[in-house]
Amino acid sequence: MTDAKTQIDDTVKTNDVVLYMKGTKTMPQCGFSNRVAGVLNYMGVEYTDVNVLSDEEIRQGIKDYSDWPTIPQLYVKGEFVGGCDIVTEMTLSGELDQLFDDKGVAYDKAAAERIRESNS
């Protein structure tokens, strides 16, 4: 498990935004991963996707790394943000925008507003 932990740690720390998910950003393999990838894609966020279905050690390793039992998992500038429910809540409240602003992550502010408008 040390190799997986090292690989995860390296990925999280060397990429501004990382989504550990089932499937890929262009082909999510579960509804929760689809929702988070959809938000990031719609907002134009550049991110690295890691398909946990292609590596069992990474799939278990990411749960141990974050001490979070579910996937997807979003990381911004090395910080664990949360899973689908948390990312959804943060998107709708504007907290995700604030996090991206604080961390210097580029995104489409108008797209973020459209998400909130369509869910109000």
Phi-psi region of 111 (alpha: psi -120 to 50; beta: other; left: phi over 0): alpha
User: Is 30 marked as binding a ligand?
Assistant: yes
* pLDDT tens, residue by residue, 48-91: 999 999 999 999 999 999 999 999 999 999 999 999 999 999 99
Task: Please determine, for residue 113, whether its predicted confidence score (pLDDT) is greater than 90.
Answer: yes
Q: What's the confidence (pLDDT) of residue 101? A: 98
**pTM for this entry:** 0.95
H or E, element range at 63: helix 56-66
- What is the overall mean pLDDT for the chain? 96
The Cα 104–Cα 61 span in angstroms is: 28
Please, what is the Cα angle at 10 between 50 and 79, to 5 degrees? 80
Kindly list the structural domains of the chain, giving each domain's residue range(s) and its CATH number in brackets, ordered by start.
2-118 (3.40.30.10)
